Amino acid sequence: MCEKCEYNFKKLEEKWQPKWREMKLYKTNEDPNKKKFYCLDFFPYPSGNGLSVGHLRNYVPTDVVSRLKRMQGYNVLHPMGWDAFGLPAENFAIKQGVHPAVTTEKNASNYRRQLSLVECSYDWEREINSTDPDYYRWTQWFFLLLYKRGLAYKAAGAQWWCPNCRTILANEQVEQGRCWRCEGLVEKKDLNQWFFKITDYADRLIDDLKLINWPDRIKKMQENWIGKSKGAEVNFRAKSPTTGEEFDLPIFTTRVDTIFGVTFMTLAPEHKLVEKLTHPDNKASVEAYIAESRKKSEIDRLSTEKEKTGVPLGSYAINPFNGEMIPIYIGDYVLAGYGTGAVMAVPAHDERDFAFAKKHNINVIEVITPEGKPQGELKEAYTEYGTLINSAQFNGLRSEQAIEKMIEWLEENKKGCGRINYKFRDWLISRQRYWGAPIPIVHCDCCGTVPVPEDQLPVLLPNISEFKPGTDGKSPLAAITDWVNTTCPKCGKPAKRETDTMDGFACSSWYFLRFVSPKYKEFAFDKEKVKYWAPVDLYVGGAEHAVMHLLYARFWTKVMYDAGLIPFVEPFQQLRNQGMMLAAGGVKMSKSKNNVITPDEMVEKYGADTLRAFILFLGTFELEVSWSDEGIKGMYRFVKRVYDLICEFQGGDEKAEGKEAQNLKKILNYTIKQVTTDIENFSFNTAIARLMELTNAMVDATKKTNLAKTTLWKEVVEKMLLLLAPITPFIAEELWEVTGHKGSVHQQSWPTYDEKALEESNITLPVQVNGKLRDQIELPANVDEATARKAAEASEKVKKYLDGMQVVKFIFVPKRMISFVVKPAK
């Protein structure tokens, strides 16, 4: 073998990378004559740790699909940018003692370098950065759009506060009572905060899930998070034991059919009417209970295991349906933030109420029965639907009908109404942190809350050195008096800027539109280009953003649609979530465990082609996989094997004939067919397995046949290189040149296969007797049933099992199998 043909990945990378850069291989322009394909990765935050090979499970597959689509003739938009605002970037900067703008730039360029190392085919001229004023100018513009449409508002209330990160968090960013970033316990804090009214879009966010090709899992997660439930609001009537004042006490229930079984009521300890409804005799115990539940950590309070506790207020409420007086309790298992913060309790038909009633000796009244007959004393709550009893005029109705009739009754008698409740809350976007897009609002003593006029955007983030969060619940920006003090855009009098910044998820709610015209000055995006490119056709990233980014971006898209800015309602047509990459042994890769594998070291050791192919081959795309040092060696062997094989055997002018030629042709066509559909279906591991099979068949042919000197061989090599191009771009390009082709392999058309070549004249058919495989016989592919049967019966191995037996059934599945069902003959 000549020196030129020695596989040296480093030389190939050094040779081709500059050439590809020079020819701007990945530059993307609009082309109305070509079908577009927008392939996007989740907007990454460029972490100071750099990329690990785990991240490549996201970036390599999208790169392969992008390359395939280009070769298939699509105009592909495959961009990359940085979601660099937000807590993680700022925390990292604080830790390093360097301004976040500096660390962000450094980290981004490191990411860019690493992604280029494995030759991800991004058009880097479209790179964007959410911390760039030319970018966040438009994030602020969208804030104003939401504000003008009544979808951004400021409100006071108890909200999640992370004492460690010293900022308020959105509900979506609190996991099991802990901060999503630092994992510290969160607490509630009363602050005046900015919200986006995402709840206005609840129904559309659920309904439009039908329009998109996303994993069911993610759709379900969003649906559950939104938590739509249909029920009724019922006004109980209560009277203050101290003032004698009477008022409505509304509750929300999904089971109004059980209302004749209500024997008590529970309010959240934070409920506004608790004080008015507390009898002087109960005051001490009620206050003690409230103090106690305040003290409990949110984790304790959220625990479902915990016993349901509560104390009576000493007052009563009247059930509008039957005029019964029922005692009112407070209990911390009732959530202040859901429904009305008060529940009617039906021990007979709710597990919690049942337990509570048993403990406090409260009546249990059965009103729903499975069979229409009372069950007598209940040992546990019966929570299913059933037939009503003990319910006056509603007796005998099924729960479903009863709910309808009772809501009608409520509405006629003005005692309540049908109501829909949602579990999710409005999106809280205020952050008391420095590193974010400033909220473009001015507070004026005369004019109140005044939006910054669009032509004054961006409201620049001042460049300061003291950006650590304060302890006073205020953003560090509040201390920059030069910046805070401004004039009111409306009346011109002195006014103060809003000092909170926006949640980083605001930036990522529209970034996919910026890529279509990243340098556009007139607006956030060029509307014509959006029409061409958007929405995103394929969106790939981790599943952890199911109810954060993916929900927020859908919400903003709908707002933009309503404002007439874009012609579609869903941003991401198809979504795919890659599985996690664990370290060898199935443990998480982490810096602290010192088991992180970087692309840098693997590219150095095995080359980019091997690393790319191995990432794809490791396992099923969606599932978790573990890194394997041995495995990547195997992939290196494959890459080298292909390289050596094609260097050595490049075909000739002889004509390929005979069975072996036919067979190789068949394998080639089968490989083209499978690799194409496998990549399209994200089954990258089997695509590579098929390429390995083709390689094995070729190696075999070099040993056993003369095919390597034929024109067929030339065709096989050429098509194989095209199939390899998206996966192993370097050897594909080098071998393309070595085999005498002109131009870049990456600018060729994807090969097509010949369906006829896949058909075989002869096939091997399994023969079963009573479901057991007994022989395999070779027959013409289009053999008819009678001939097949005769051939099968002629087989010695089969005969053995047919002798002395009576064939009760014969099954022939063309191209599949032959099967006899027999029983002993008499």
Partner RNA sequence: GCGAGGAUGGCGGAACUGGUAGACGCGCUAGACUUAGGAUCUAGUGUUUCGCGACGUGCGGGUUCAAGUCCCGCUCUUCGCACCA
The residues in 278-317 that bind RNA, with binding defined as CB under 7 A, are 301-304, 306, 308
Whether the CB-CB separation of 689 and 619 falls below 8 Å is answered with: no
Q: Which is nearer to RNA, 286 or 632 (CB)?
A: 632
Q: Is 102 exposed, middle or buried (0-12, 13-18, 19+ CB in 10 A)?
A: exposed
Residues 428 and 170: their CA atoms lie apart, in Å, by 5
Q: Could you say whether residue 387 binds RNA (CB under 7 A)?
A: no
Residue 424 CB, shortest distance to RNA, in Å, is 8
Residues 32 and 533: their CA atoms lie apart, in Å, by 10
Q: Which of 430, 438, 432, 487 is nearest to 458 (CA)?
A: 438
Residue 371 CB, shortest distance to RNA, in Å, is 20
Q: Could you say whether residue 35 binds RNA (CB under 7 A)?
A: no
The one segment of 5-13, 64-72, 478-486, 617-625 that binds RNA by CB under 7 A: 617-625
**Cα atoms in the Cβ-side hemisphere of radius 13 Å centred on 226:** 24
Residue whose pair of structure tokens reads 């855009």 in the numeric block: 489
Tell me whether the omega of the peptide bond preceding residue 535 falls within 30 degrees of 0, making it cis. yes
The one segment of 153-161, 395-403, 659-667, 814-822 that binds RNA by CB under 7 A: 814-822
At residue 629's C-alpha, the angle toward residues 626 and 635, to 5°, is 95
Q: How are beta strands 264-267 and 187-196 bridged, if at all? A: unpaired
Q: Could you say whether residue 731 binds RNA (CB under 7 A)?
A: no
Q: How many CB atoms lie within 10 A of CB 477?
A: 24
Residue 649 CB, shortest distance to RNA, in Å, is 14
Q: Which is nearer to RNA, 643 or 736 (CB)?
A: 643
Residues 523 and 517: their CA atoms lie apart, in Å, by 10
Q: Which is nearer to RNA, 626 or 650 (CB)?
A: 626
* Ranges within 654-713 binding RNA (CB under 7 A): 683, 685-686, 688-689, 692-693, 696, 699, 703
Tell me whether the omega of the peptide bond preceding residue 458 falls within 30 degrees of 0, making it cis. yes
Q: Could you say whether residue 254 binds RNA (CB under 7 A)?
A: yes
Length of the chain: 826
Residue 410 CB, shortest distance to RNA, in Å, is 14
Residues 489 and 443: their CA atoms lie apart, in Å, by 10
Q: Could you say whether residue 811 binds RNA (CB under 7 A)?
A: yes
The one segment of 110-118, 505-513, 635-643, 726-734 that binds RNA by CB under 7 A: 635-643
Residues 220 and 224: their CA atoms lie apart, in Å, by 6
Q: Which is nearer to RNA, 638 or 736 (CB)?
A: 638
Q: Which is nearer to RNA, 535 or 541 (CB)?
A: 541
The site for RNA, by CB under 7 A, has a size of: 82
Q: Which is nearer to RNA, 152 or 403 (CB)?
A: 403
The one segment of 9-17, 526-534, 649-657, 811-819 that binds RNA by CB under 7 A: 811-819
Residue 404 CA from chain centroid, whole number: 37
Residues 730 and 66: their CA atoms lie apart, in Å, by 16
Residue 454 CB, shortest distance to RNA, in Å, is 36
Q: Could you say whether residue 637 binds RNA (CB under 7 A)?
A: yes
Q: Could you say whether residue 407 binds RNA (CB under 7 A)?
A: no
Among 268, 495, 575, 712, binds RNA (CB under 7 A): 268
Residue 732 CB, shortest distance to RNA, in Å, is 18
Q: Could you say whether residue 787 binds RNA (CB under 7 A)?
A: no
Q: Could you say whether residue 618 binds RNA (CB under 7 A)?
A: yes
* Ranges within 114-133 binding RNA (CB under 7 A): none
Among 630, 653, 755, 796, binds RNA (CB under 7 A): 630
Among 270, 350, 570, 718, binds RNA (CB under 7 A): 350
Q: Which of 473, 439, 436 is nearest to 457 (CA)?
A: 439
Return the bridge partners of 483, or none: none
Phi, psi of 781 (to 5 degrees): -60, -35
Q: Which is nearer to RNA, 100 or 312 (CB)?
A: 312
* Ranges within 205-224 binding RNA (CB under 7 A): 216-217, 220-221, 224
Among 17, 72, 110, 229, binds RNA (CB under 7 A): 229
Q: Could you say whether residue 182 binds RNA (CB under 7 A)?
A: no
**Cα atoms in the Cβ-side hemisphere of radius 13 Å centred on 586:** 1
The one segment of 106-114, 136-144, 331-339, 374-382 that binds RNA by CB under 7 A: 331-339
Q: Which is nearer to RNA, 270 or 733 (CB)?
A: 270
Residues 393 and 401: their CA atoms lie apart, in Å, by 13
Residue 205 CB, shortest distance to RNA, in Å, is 16
* Ranges within 533-562 binding RNA (CB under 7 A): 543, 546-547
Q: Which is nearer to RNA, 203 or 245 (CB)?
A: 203
DSSP secondary structure letters along 152-198: EEEEEEEEEEETTTTEE--GGGEETTEETTT-PBPEEEEEEEEEE-G
